[in-house]
Amino acid sequence: MYSPSGLPTRSSPVPRPMKRHHSVRQIAHRVHDSFTSRLCKLICAIFLTLVLAVGLISFILWLSLRPHRPRFHIHGFGVVGLGQGTDITQIQFNATARNANHNIGVYYDSMDGSVFYKDQSIGSKPLLFPFYQGPKNTTDVEDTITVTTLKENGQRWTEIMNERNMARVVVFRLEIVSIIRFQISKWHSRPHRMHANCEVSVGPDGVILPISKDKRCPVYFT
């Protein structure tokens, strides 16, 4: 640069930024804070990883050990007396109970059967003694129930005969009620009251129709 007189002049020196001098205590405090922050982050990451791993293992075990309810199928059903149009005395049936679990057994503490017509019980009885059913096992449930509440020429008997003669189909319901417990290794679950409801259609001869034969029965707990 030049002055008004034409002589060169020195430019003003540019001020340099002042260097900050940190004490040893400040530096140590910053290092401590950084180490603490990293340690906290590491502990949180390890904790979250453990929680995720435990949750995943628990979910897999739950899927593999979750007990499935037994499966019931109705295979045979016959109403003695319906084909002749006389007094209905007995109902014979054949069903199966299937434990489809791979590693879980089922204890049946009791099993009772009842036959219903239009939600009115017409006969019932105990079916099987207490028994254990292993995994992937099927048990036959076959018995004869004596009809006790139907009287010839009574209201229900008349309704059944009318359906037999007009619709050519009569619908009954077999209900199997069991108290069961699941077994996983040496652990036993609490007792569950299980209901299997098998709706069965029979023809004029009193024999199960193909539409109901080998049908799976809905199962629920109470």
pTM more than 0.75: no
One domain for residues 62 and 76: no
One domain for residues 186 and 209: yes
pLDDT number for residue 140: 97
Which has more pLDDT, 55 or 220?
A: 220
CATH number at residue 100: 2.60.40
One domain for residues 77 and 113: yes
Give the span between the Cα atoms of 124 and 109, in whole angstroms: 18
One domain for residues 206 and 189: yes
Q: pLDDT band at residue 1, thresholds of 50, 70 and 90?
A: low
**DSSP secondary structure of 28-42:** HHHHHHHHHHHHHHH
67-94 per-position pLDDT tens digit: 899 999 999 999 999 988 888 999 999 9
Contact indicator for 79, 172 with CB cutoff of 8 Å: yes
Which has more pLDDT, 18 or 152?
A: 152
Residues in contact with 171: Cβ distance below 8 Å, sequence separation at least 6, in sequence order: 117, 163, 199, 200, 201, 202
> How many domains does the chain contain in total?
2
Least confident of 40-54, 97-111, 121-135, 186-200: 40-54
One domain for residues 105 and 200: yes
User: Domain of 209?
Assistant: 71-221
- Please give the average per-residue pLDDT across 113-119, as a whole number: 95
Handedness of CA 222, 173, 73, 177 (dihedral sign): positive
pLDDT number for residue 31: 56
